[in-house]
Chain A
Amino acid sequence: MTDHQRTNVHTPSQRPGPIRRIRQVIEYRELLGNLTRKELKVKYKNSVLGFLWSLLNPLLYLIVFSLVFQEILRAQVPLFGVFLLSGLVAWNLFLGGLTGATGSIVSNAPLVQKVWFPREILALASIGAALVHFFLQLLVLFGALLVFQHAPAWGYLPALVLALAVLLTLTTAIGVALSAINVYLRDTQHLLELVLLAWFWLTAIVYPIRLVTDRLGEWDWVALLNPMIPIVLTFQRVIYNPAVEDNILPEEPLSWYLRNLSFVGIGALLALWGALVIFGRLEDDLGEEI
């Protein structure tokens, strides 16, 4: 297949490979923007507060969890609300992106039956909407840092950028695959909720990772097998930026974070490749099964 644009010949009977799929998505980037906007608009169309709602949610977390964990449970984590929220923003992006993506094709059934466009875009638009929420929540988080006069670890910023990229790749890989699988097996959505609930508590978001790694001793590397842990740890490192004596995060240099994230990143890229192959196969009958 030569250049699609120039010759303007296309062969709908052929199953495109992952590279071609990515190229098609890039060609249709305008649609991605429009669908993401649509998702956000539709969500807030009938609410007075609109986008403020997405700010209220993390704000409430900040206040309630600070109260409960710091004042009632007396957790040995200073600024507990900030600690929780710095990991939670990453998790919420993962959770919101996956949940939205999984249902994205089924909920756009009329469109999928009638018109061709790269279907991955539906999943990507859900993840795009989750990304917008992520930035809004980050805004709340940085507001809290200002209020508490707490400085982030700017030196680790490159790791945060990488962590976000890796997180998006991972979310896209899983989300794209699940969006197609959910057409054939409709309870995938419900199963996902259960899996994510367990996964959430296995990821050191509500509790400091040191509580686990200290007990694991030599086996502490096992914790890093959970791909979300290196990502969440990076968020906590940069935004929450705990003092050494608080004993909350492993005291490791930037390179340690970058290395862990790279491993997860490579895994996520391989998963994305696999997801695109699976998606391509499931796409054959998508218009009929939906």
Chain B
Amino acid sequence: MASAISITNVTKKFKLHQQKAKSIKERFILAGRNPSIDFFALDDVSFEVPVGSTMGLLGHNGSGKSTLLKCISGTLRPTSGDIEVRGRMAALLELGAGFHPELTGRENIYLNGSILGFSRVQIDRIFDDIVEFAELGEFIDNQVKHYSSGMYARLGFAVSVNVDPEILLIDEVLSVGDEAFQRKCLERISTFQKEGRTILVVTHAADLVRQICDEVAVLDAGKLVTVGEPGDAVRIFRDTLAARGQAPPTELLQGPHATRTGVTLSDLQVIGPDPTTHTLRTGEALTVEARVEVESDVPDLVVAFSLHDQNGVLIHGTNTDVLGIPVDTRAGSRVIRFRVDSLPLLDGTVAVTMGAHSEDGSLLYHQLDQVERFHVSSGTRAAGVTALDIAVSTEPDST
């Protein structure tokens, strides 16, 4: 298949200085004694984005994914390597970048359109669509500085998607706006997909990638780790994160929290699946046990337990607090067991996660993140995630 974007051996090198001279004065002061090291934001990255596909670019912060997007859009130039883009490209502007607060919405649409390379006449033709999509109505003639952040974001998205790009670049912007508008954006993206346009989405949100992408490229420390179908790529992304010992990819705790030592989980075992094939029949019992070691007394303790499917979707997440079972908080070692009498799942792979944290969720002690996996075999031809007992009845239609 033809490529909309070809990326060949792209490397972007930055010189990192201990102290960055930002003025002529500092240049003089720091002259001769300001050693620099080379930092490779992108290191020999090559891949193709096929025409009509939706490609995700997944990576943690600092993985180089934004640098790569900037190189593609042209706001940065790679140190070496080639990038070829075939077709009209539009970048989704982040939260009104390119809008001037003193100008009205109408003026900003024309300004923004010309930034994307469109003439007044071309914008005239799509003006009404933009206003309608952005749901701005009469506010279109107000100065943009009086807009709410949601209106700002909507206007930005509306301009980008209505200028009829063949290739759309999206950078972490779908997190703005209210839920209804996000849904609208996703709908527009799926329309784009049906129309055979090419989309490149940069994100660290694994869920979004699974939801909309055909293919995913994973970057880690400037290197391309893999390009493949979303499920595999997301798994590899999690592995790279785990390898760096970074923030837990499986979010047991919502919101900000600190990590502490003092409670350790170990020896996690999955009992139930056949030990050689690691396969559990649908409806069979599952027990997961682990050792909880408390070094010294803690004020409160909760052990969390969750199951994820092969796409990383949470099947079930619970904890001892939710279940109303207190955990011994005194120093010592004990074994904790979670037992599911009958696992109502259809065919797939399940990953097990266990964690120990404080009751209010502000402290995370330890987490065993998707350390064990097993397969589920249903023996039926039903499709989906859960096994349901379904009765079917038919009767003649009397009318």
Contacts and interface: CB of A to CB of B under 8 A. Distances in A.
Interface of A: 8-15, 27-28, 30-31, 33-35, 38, 41-42, 45-46, 110-117, 184-188, 191, 283-288
Cβ-closest 6 pairs across A and B: A116-B74, A287-B75, A12-B74, A187-B23, A31-B114, A13-B83
Interface residues of B, number: 45
Contact of A13 (B82, B86, B111, B117): B82
Contacts of A13: 10, 71, 77-78, 81-84
A117 B117 contact: yes
B25 interface: yes
Given A13-B78, A186-B23, A285-B77, 13 more contacts: A11-B82, A11-B85, A30-B118, A38-B107, A42-B100, A110-B98, A115-B75, A116-B74, A185-B23, A187-B25, A286-B75, A286-B76, A288-B70
| B21, B72, B94, B98: residue with the most chain A Cβ atoms closer than 10 Å | B98
Interface in B196-214: none
A46 B97 CA distance: 22
Interface in B300-355: none
Interface string B77-119: 1110111111110010110011010110001001100111111
A253 B23 CA distance: 47
A12 B77 contact: yes
Contacts of B98: 110-111, 114-115
A31 B122 CA distance: 13
Given A38-B111, A116-B75, A284-B77, A30 B97 contact: no
Nearest to B88: A8
Contacts of B23: 185-187
Contact of B24 (A33, A110, A188): A188
| B22, B77, B84, B100: residue with the most chain A Cβ atoms closer than 10 Å | B77
Interface of B: 10, 14, 21-25, 27, 67, 70-79, 81-88, 91, 93-94, 97-98, 100, 102-103, 107, 110-111, 114-120
Contacts of B73: 12, 114-116
A14 B77 CA distance: 7
A288 B117 CA distance: 23
B74 A34 contact: no
A115 B90 CA distance: 9
A34 B78 contact: no
Contacts of A38: 100, 103, 107, 111
Given A38-B100, A185-B27, A115 B115 contact: yes
A21 to B, nearest CB: 13
A227 B208 CA distance: 59
A188 B22 CA distance: 10
A41 B83 contact: no
A114 B77 contact: no
B77 A15 contact: yes
A46 to B, nearest CB: 8
A41 B75 contact: no
A286 B71 CA distance: 11
A34 B110 contact: yes
B103 A42 contact: yes
B281 to A, nearest CB: 53
B120 A12 contact: no
A113 B84 CA distance: 20
A115 B85 contact: no
